[in-house]
Amino acid sequence: MSREIILLEKEFVLTPKDCKTNVFFEFSVSDELSHMFIDIGYEPKFFYDFDKSMELIIGCVEKYDLDKKTDMYGPIENLLPLSNMVTFSLDMNVSYRGAAHRHSNCQHLVLAEKSASAGFMAGRLEQGLWRAAVNVCSVITESCFYRLKITGIKANTEAGAL
Amino acid sequence: MKWVACELHTHTVHSDGQLSVGGLVNRAKSLGLEMIALTDHNTNSGLAELDNQRLSVSFPVIRGIEWTTYFGHVLVIGSKKYVDWRDVVPHNIDEKLTMVHDAGGLAGVAHPYALGDPVCCSCHWEFYLKDWGLADFIEIWSGSLPQLVMRNKKAIKKWTSLLDKEIYLTAISGRDWHGDEDDTKPFGVTYLMLDEMVDVTEAAKDALKNHRAYVTVGPTVSLSASSNGKNTGIGGTLLRGETTFRIAVGGEHRKEIWRNFDLVPQKIVLVGVGGRELSSADFVGYENEMIITVPEASGWVRMELRGTMRGEECALAVTNPITFE
């Protein structure tokens, strides 16, 4: 029998109004886990409206009063396509366990006592109150569909079971 | 005490960098760097990799993190406990930097004038920092070709204005190194003068706290000053008055890395309050000591090695100041 349990499952839509916010979800872990799996996905990643993108980039350079020649990290085309950026972070019983701050819009993360996906601290996956944070850095597209699923495998408790 | 070539702003696969911690350490060694700070975005999980592979035994790595908040990025160095980045907003930045200090850390302003959203997520400093004295250091150079970009010129101007207010943030260079940069393009390095301490993070913090640092795209520099019978070096303090500055420029350290950056040193300039040129002397070659006397040094004085890089006039090295009271 599989001991994998669903701890949190969320699907929602982000819009530009959600930029610079953290969306927190608490979830409870009733038994210590041997593994935690976190699946993250959001769509779309890229903003393909060329004219609007150019307008946004030029507007950005003007807003910050920088130099179009030197401060755009190369030719303007290098900055295209603009993209949505949503990162993820995690706490266990008020203790920070790390973050997935990277550009991929599809990530599969694993945490365990002895190892963890890059960005996260390995260690015991204790029972208690956990908190997932969806860190909405930037949403440029009109809407962005976000899904998050966290599952766990209970640690082997058979020896102590009644 | 020893000057050490450092990169103080790096990223690995633990955030959005391209290299593992081991890979970054190897690249750092190949670039002649002697120390790096690991400052992944919002995580310090790379430190476990460092410890597990005993990398810190063979190469000094400063423990850090880059708070990648929605209103600017802050390099947090050597904090002994985690201080949350997610609740940092423009109006509580003073409080949050105090929390970093209370946790034993230092806080630095990363690429303050970089392009912000939507080009670079929250990369532009938009905090309302009331007490700039709560920031310990500031990147006056960031990225490639650091002296030629407007954003860094603005950062130097800001730093200079803070020095004028007797707020002595330590100026550093941060390449914001993600591992995929072109190493043939000139980039800056921060030299820190480290005291011999067992813990490299503590040694780096001590240097940053006491302004024993300079930035350069290549040549090393030494600057000392004597006034009223006392001597000091970069970051030190003297009594105001007639001051003799001894300056030398070194052309050997890491030469194989920067020899193709097309650097032409031309002039040594002492810069003081308001960013004004106090005195200057022609560059007379590497390893030759130059002596400049300033009749009434006061406030602060920093040294700039100026010349051309790829044919463009710019500073090739900038020291933190010697201050006068």
For A61-82, the pLDDT digits (tens) are 999 988 887 877 778 888 899 9
CATH of domain B219-324: 2.60.40
- DSSP symbol at B114: S
For B4-25, the pLDDT digits (tens) are 999 999 999 999 999 999 999 9
- CB distance from B86 to chain A under 8 Å? yes
Instruction: Respond yes or no on whether ipTM tops 0.90.
Output: yes
Contact B115 A61 (CB under 8 A): yes
CA atoms in the 13 A half-sphere facing the CB of B298: 3
Question: Residue B48's closest chain A neighbor by CA?
Answer: A121
Who contacts A129 (Cβ-Cβ below 8 Å, separation ≥6)?
A26, A27, A28, A29, A93
Q: Has residue A12 got a pLDDT over 70?
A: yes
Q: Tell me the whole-structure pTM to 2 decimals.
A: 0.96
Contact B149 A70 (CB under 8 A): yes
What residue segments make up the domains of chain B, in order of their start?
2-215, 219-324
Are the beta carbons of B235 and B248 closer than 8 angstroms?
A: no
Are the beta carbons of B322 and B236 closer than 8 angstroms?
A: yes
Q: What share of chain B is helix, strand, coil (3-state, %, to 5)?
A: 20, 40, 40
Q: Has residue A161 got a pLDDT over 70?
A: no
Q: Tell me the three state secondary structure of residue B252.
A: coil
- DSSP symbol at B143: S
| Residue B249: per-residue pLDDT | 98
- CB distance from A4 to chain B under 8 Å? no
For A24-65, the pLDDT digits (tens) are 999 999 999 999 999 999 999 999 999 999 999 999 999 998
Q: Has residue A159 got a pLDDT over 50?
A: no
| Residue A71: per-residue pLDDT | 79
- CB distance from A78 to chain B under 8 Å? no
For B58-76, the pLDDT digits (tens) are 899 999 999 999 999 999 9
Q: Do domains B2-215 and B219-324 have the same CATH topology?
A: no
Distance between CA atoms of B228 and A131, rounded to whole angstroms? 60
In angstroms, what separates the C-alpha of B85 from chain A's closest C-alpha? 11
Contact A121 B148 (CB under 8 A): no
Contact A60 B86 (CB under 8 A): no
Mutate to test the interface with A, among B10, B15, B51 (most CBs of A within 10 A): B15
User: Domains in chain A, please, with CATH?
Assistant: 4-45+84-156 (2.60.120.380), 53-80 (no CATH)
Contact A138 B121 (CB under 8 A): yes
Cα A64-A70-A71 angle, rounded to 5 deg? 35
Confidence of residue A158 (pLDDT cuts 50, 70, 90): low
Contact A99 B117 (CB under 8 A): no
Report CA dihedral (B209, B212, B215, B219) to the nearest 10 degrees.
-160
DSSP letter for each residue of chain A: ---EEEEEEEEEEE-GGGTTEEEEEEEEE-S-EEEEEEEEEEE--EE--HHHHHHHHHHHHHHTT--TTTSSSSSGGGGPSEE-EEEEEEEETTEEEEEE-SS-SEEEEEEESS-B-TTB----B-SEEEEEEEEEEE--SS-EEEEEEEEEEE---GGG--
| Residue B243: per-residue pLDDT | 98
Q: Tell me the three state secondary structure of residue B187.
A: strand
Per the DSSP assignment, residues forming a β-bridge with B213 are B192
Positive/negative CA dihedral, A46, B70, A63, B133? negative
Which residues of chain A have a CB within 8 Å of the CB of B113? 64, 66
Which residues of chain A have a CB within 8 Å of the CB of B121? 85, 137-138
Phi and psi torsions of A159, nearest 5° = -60, -35
Mutate to test the interface with A, among B45, B111, B123, B158 (most CBs of A within 10 A): B45
Which residues of chain B have a CB within 8 Å of the CB of A101? 15-16, 40-43, 68
Confidence of residue A160 (pLDDT cuts 50, 70, 90): very low
Task: For residue B25, give Cα distances in angstroms to A6, A82, B6, B197.
Answer: 39, 31, 12, 21
For B198-229, the pLDDT digits (tens) are 799 999 999 999 999 999 999 999 999 999 99
- Of the candidates B82, B86, B115, the beta carbon closest to that of A135 is on B86
Positive/negative CA dihedral, B110, B114, B119, B123? positive
Homologous superfamily assigned to B2-215:
Metal-dependent hydrolases (3.20.20.140)
For B300-320, the pLDDT digits (tens) are 999 999 999 999 999 999 999
The residues of chain B scoring below 70 in pLDDT are 56
